[in-house]
Amino acid sequence: MTRELTGTHIVVVGATGVLGARLAAHLTTVGARVSAIVRDHTRLDGATVFQYALADITNHATLRTAFESVAPFDGVINATGLVAFGAIADLDDATLNQLFAVNAIAPIVMLRESSTHINDGGFFVNLSGVVATQPVAGMAAYSASKAAAWAAMLAVGRELRRRRIDVIDARPPHTETGLATRPVAGVAPKMPVGLAPDAVAARIVSAIIAGERDLPVEAFTS
């Protein structure tokens, strides 16, 4: 099902991040109104975001309140995430808990709290990344946290089908967002040059318009 985004209201969670900011910009370009859910509103671009709500995505009560305060809306994009590097033998409990809290549990809670506020025919996009289905050695916990989110998106997409709400899992390859330079643990291995955030954002927005329901890594590299 193709959709027209002009005049729609879309929520970007993590709109102050590199990719989140580009998503907000592209959505504005196609005529959508963008609300943001962020921790720090001072970093928002007022030219692309017309309202915001504050929330720590690991605090489920504040996340619920944030969605309620900007509702109703036609779509949600989750552009948040954390990364960690290192062998499984070096993985500590705090890092493991943090990865799953942000990359797996938070997206599931976002779906739960936003689904009743998404207009029928709308969408929810989560950026799981290529590691969700192609796990990488030295990134086991990170890969597993993203895989958990991917599985949830797949299942909830079936649950929301009657309301024609698309749950879209996006799995781009390494993208130059700077996330790899800010790991919660470990040091990033040498990586090839990644995709430009602007190109990834444009691809996601075009998929929303085209009614695509899944964005595997091949969708970004073909």
Q: State the CATH number of the domain containing residue 203.
A: 3.40.50.720
Q: What DSSP string runs through 58-89? A: T-HHHHHHHHHHH--EEEEEE-------S-GG
Q: Would the pLDDT of 5 be above 90?
A: yes
Residue with tokens 């036609």: 74
Instruction: Grade residue 129 by pLDDT with cuts at 50, 70 and 90.
Output: very high
Q: 19: closest CA among 142, 155, 203?
A: 203
**Residue 191 has what pLDDT?**
87
pLDDT at 82: 96
| Domain extent for 205 | 9-221
75-108 pLDDT, tens per residue?
A: 999 999 999 999 999 999 999 999 999 999 999 9
For 197-219, what is each residue's pLDDT tens digit?
Answer: 999 999 999 999 999 999 999 99
Query: Is residue 116 situated within a structural domain?
Result: yes
Whether 2 is covered by a domain: the verdict is no
- Decide if 1 is inside a domain: no
Q: Name the nearest CA neighbour of 131 among 141, 146, 151.
A: 146
Q: Is residue 3 part of a domain?
A: no
Residue 179 domain flag: yes
Asked whether residue 130 is assigned to any structural domain, the reply reads yes
Number of folded domains that form the chain: 1
Asked if residue 173 belongs to a domain, the reply is yes
The string of pLDDT tens digits covering residues 44-60 is 999 999 999 999 999 99
**222 confidence band (pLDDT: 50, 70, 90):** low
Q: Across all residues in the chain, what is the average pLDDT?
A: 96
Contact 200, 175 (CB under 8 A): yes
Question: Does some domain include residue 133?
Answer: yes
pLDDT at 166 over 70: yes
